[in-house]
Amino acid sequence: MEDKTNKFFNKALGDFAFDVACGAAIRHLNELGYTPEQIAERLDYPISAERVKTYVEKLAVSGESGEGDEGYEIVREYDGYGRSCFVRVKKE
């Protein structure tokens, strides 16, 4: 039981440290329209594009809860100024 608690705590602590270390930078570059690969290249510290993509996808999740990811996809949308962001939309 304690091992499960330690894993949960270590994951939560790791996610918190990641968010503090680079979450704001990733959010900012995502709002400017950079792809996860471009974001990973622009950061001064080593981070994989896959980790950035996972973080960006979590940002895109709408406030809906209780539904799985089936029937949804992540798409890039552009506003009137050409800025892009990722949003989660229901598949048609």
pTM value is 0.59
| Residue pointed to by tokens 């048609």 | 92
State the Cα–Cα distance between residues 74 and 57, nearest whole angstrom.
7
Question: Would you kindly state where each structural domain of the chain is located, as residue ranges?
Answer: 2-90
- Residue-wise pLDDT for 31-64, tens only, equals 888 888 899 999 888 888 899 988 888 877 644 3
Beta partners for 76? 86
Range from 4-8, 9-13, 43-47, 59-63 carrying the lowest mean pLDDT: 59-63
- Burial class of residue 48 (count of CB atoms within 10 Å of its CB; 0-12, 13-18, 19+): exposed
- The answer to whether 84 and 78 are in contact (CB under 8 A) is yes
The residue among 30, 50, 49 whose CA lies nearest residue 41 is 49
